[in-house]
Structure 1
């Protein structure tokens, strides 16, 4: 029961800290880490140890799956070059830079151990950046590149980490072997993830039950991870591949399954992200207890210098990685150089998180300077979350990179909605010509024509006040109907199940009207 009680207390604390973050307009990841650190120093609070295997096997797969599931595959594929340059190139470059600084500051640290430290802190955390980026209206390409990087960078960092740890323990390291193994691990992970994803799609389409279909997506998530790890290929890349396959297949599922699965995954994502960041903060006590032999000033100096090296190395990589490919004329014509503000944002969005801490804690007992490496990894997480996490939103607005929020829908959305409305109207007009069922279809035609007129009005810039008034009338009528239904329940005892179903239908219609009303106000 102790673990259940602890978990419930942590979830309650996560909710409280998330509310504090919202009121203070701070990234909730920062508040959760600082809150966890504060809790760790309260007398009587039990020591909560984060098992690295649980962190990597329990937390990481669903978080990666959720990100991959909602990823736009075409956009991901179209931006594969900058994504790979960050997810692989920036990770390797950052790891080498941090390793060189660590070796200079700690001469007795073996090179392989220094590279292990670099690999631990190299990958930025997806959840930390998403918590800020999703609150703002950034240019779509920045969001795609950052999200795409977060899907792959953990895999490249963990592969380098494993080789560095093995080389430290064995005393030898082969760059060629590491490179070939990296390719093999990646290709193997993609193959297993794709196979599990395709099997899951076939199974989900045969289940015909929303709860079972949603549960199957979780089974696929962990199945791909553990299957890949079992055959010693990249479980992280396998989960990403499975998520991309399921994400592309979701439009073939029922509307209810898509809606409910999205809600469930969003809830899981919030809970796991929140627990991760508060658990990171709670590790501070245990880490400090093992470093009594080190001087406080030396520890502080090492932490500051290595954190600065970590931040600066990303800047040193991003600018050349953006500029050098465009020296090729065909690339420059197809993909002009982005504004320097975009490069600055991508460089600054490098907060570290759970993967770095879990990898540090997973170092074998007896690893050279293990406790110091764990401490430096924690400090890197803390420094990047607090420094970059609290200033990223300010930087984005200072650079003027945030797109202005325009009420209503854009032209592509309005055009897509009009396409649907015209197709539906054409089908209804076809049915109206049927001798047997034409009377019913004729009665429905005004409703479908009205929808077409509304969306065509949005596309053609019709008078907004008139469109808004029509939608407001519909919204008020819908609310009146729902209120009457609820009063009917109280007066005549309507069954709760029936009431729930009817209210759900009215709620969905209200959301549709509100979305169109926003377009009418544009």
Structure 2
């Protein structure tokens, strides 16, 4: 088993690299690759590996949530609290109820409680792919905030509803009041644990002057926070998200070396974990159909279509209803801009499910507390697989096309460039004012030539920010400067390598010199 998982991990990263090389959606590419392997005769030792719920919930989920939380904006999330709350709390509960009733009517093997378990399992969308597509195609900032905020919080709602429904399905005594209490306790405990441990992590990292140690603490923090929250009956998801938002706010004031290292480390971790998760999704096909022997094909198709259509319809109806109905309230109508139809449709269509849903499905026990087989477990796993793969392929393949063709989505990339250029202009003016203050100070001895170089460097940074907005194909003076300086850096690098090969400098000296060149090249290539 461990060797097979290692093979899957290595294969997933290689496939993701190939997809990125040819500008393909790596997540969809991995899902299709997994499905293909599942259909190959004799590949049972790979495709027959059943997804371990603990692997997903305790190994994959915490770092992915942490990484997403670090990149989120607390200010933007706070400004869109109502909309994100409706998507992350209201929509999963509505999906749980609607899918539960439809599944109960269309799948004879499912009891009502078991049907609600299925509803909770397929309720939380995985917005990783949608967010990736949106960033690449320039979705407006508010749309990205809604999708990101939803993906951070909806797992907590759905997994709590899953625990309540599962308790009822296996025969544990429960009630609506007990379920509501469970939900509130999990949410409150998760927030408190996340806040406390997030502050502790920030305190520890702020007292260190060691970027390597800071990154190491950041790597283990999400696992510890998730585990502690779950041990006290709290929501591990909420705990990690809250702690990540706290850490992300502090990150902007950390040292430059820690920021550079964290960015590189978490991008690599995110790629590895996401690649592994989505390849595993595709590989679950044999496990999903294994228990359906003897079930009518017509019944399988009918129930699959009914559940799949319900998942999509509920999201469409919910998003449109709560995009426009709140505007009937005069206060909301006067303080919030009207929704843009194209943006509303993109949010309603970005409902791709992911590995958390499959992990929850495989986590359903084989038997109830009475010792009887769990009602309809094979059907539940199969329907979850259909929803996850179906939404990934349907939404994942159509979203890029829709985003390019819908009006009113705006050009977020250009808006970001304008905002960045204006901010750089203000920062450059502040830098120039500070330089003038230092030069006017009689106690500061600065050579006139050094001051001229600093003024020229500051002006170049100001001009470069505005020239990024210019039309493509126009060769600006700053672009010429960049190309020439990159060629000079390449020549320096070759000279250092030649000195190393001739034995004039050691490899350790070489690495130190190359690090300086790499930082300068990164500055020239940014944006």
TM-score by length of 1: 0.91
Aligned to 1:494: 505
Structural mapping, 1:260-275, within 5 Å: 260-275=261-276
Question: Do the aligned partners of 2:418 and 2:466 also contact (CA within 8 Å) in 1?
Answer: no
Aligned to 1:412: 419
Secondary structure of the corresponding residue to residue 445 of structure 1:
helix
Aligned to 1:137: 138
Choose which of 386, 398, 413 in structure 2 pairs with 1:391.
398
Deviations 1:146-194 (A, max 9, x none): 0000000000001111111112223765333323332221121111001
Distance 1:290 1:250 in 2: 49
Question: Do the aligned partners of 2:342 and 2:406 also contact (CA within 8 Å) in 1?
Answer: yes
Aligned to 1:465: 476
Further displaced range: 451-460 or 40-49: 451-460
Further displaced range: 258-267 or 26-35: 26-35
Question: Do the aligned partners of 1:52 and 1:362 also contact (CA within 8 Å) in 2?
Answer: yes
Deviations 1:245-304 (A, max 9, x none): 111111222111111111111111111111111112222212322221212332122112
Residue 325 in structure 1 maps to residue 332 in structure 2:
no
Aligned to 1:201: 202
Aligned to 2:9: 11
Deviations 1:214-246 (A, max 9, x none): 111122211111111111011110010111111
Residue 485 in structure 1 maps to residue 496 in structure 2:
yes
Aligned to 1:513: 524
Superposed displacement of residue 435, structure 1: 5.2
Choose which of 453, 456, 462 in structure 1 pairs with 2:459.
453
Superposed displacement of residue 433, structure 1: 4.4
Superposed displacement of residue 308, structure 1: 1.2
Aligned to 1:285: 286
Aligned to 2:75: 74
Superposed displacement of residue 17, structure 1: 2.8
Further displaced range: 69-78 or 47-56: 47-56
Deviations 1:489-514 (A, max 9, x none): 33453222222222222222223233
Distance 1:438 1:409 in 2: 39
Choose which of 433, 436, 459 in structure 2 pairs with 1:429.
436
Superposed displacement of residue 74, structure 1: 0.5
Question: Do the aligned partners of 1:421 and 1:448 also contact (CA within 8 Å) in 2?
Answer: no
Choose which of 28, 35, 38 in structure 2 pairs with 1:37.
35
Residue 169 in structure 1 maps to residue 170 in structure 2:
yes
Further displaced range: 134-143 or 295-304: 295-304
Structural mapping, 1:192-341, within 5 Å: 192-341=193-342
Superposed displacement of residue 108, structure 1: 5.4
Choose which of 432, 446, 450 in structure 2 pairs with 1:444.
450
Structural mapping, 1:53-72, within 5 Å: 53-72=54-73
What number of residue pairs does the alignment pair up?
Answer: 513
Question: Do the aligned partners of 1:357 and 1:378 also contact (CA within 8 Å) in 2?
Answer: yes
Aligned to 2:377: 370
Question: Do the aligned partners of 2:49 and 2:283 also contact (CA within 8 Å) in 1?
Answer: yes
Further displaced range: 132-141 or 241-250: 132-141
Aligned to 2:371: none
Distance 2:476 2:519 in 1: 24
- Consecutive unaligned residues of structure 1, counting only runs of 5 or more, are none
Taking only aligned residues, the RMSD between alpha carbons, in angstroms, comes to 2.5
Further displaced range: 86-95 or 7-16: 7-16
- Consecutive unaligned residues of structure 2, counting only runs of 5 or more, are 368-373
Superposed displacement of residue 138, structure 1: 0.7
Distance 1:250 1:180 in 2: 35
Distance 1:336 1:494 in 2: 62
Superposed displacement of residue 210, structure 1: 1.5
Superposed displacement of residue 31, structure 1: 1.9
**Change in 2 beyond 3 A, CA 1:433/1:190:** same
**Change in 2 beyond 3 A, CA 1:443/1:498:** farther
Question: Do the aligned partners of 1:352 and 1:381 also contact (CA within 8 Å) in 2?
Answer: yes
Question: Do the aligned partners of 2:74 and 2:249 also contact (CA within 8 Å) in 1?
Answer: yes
Question: Do the aligned partners of 1:128 and 1:352 also contact (CA within 8 Å) in 2?
Answer: no
Question: Do the aligned partners of 1:190 and 1:238 also contact (CA within 8 Å) in 2?
Answer: yes
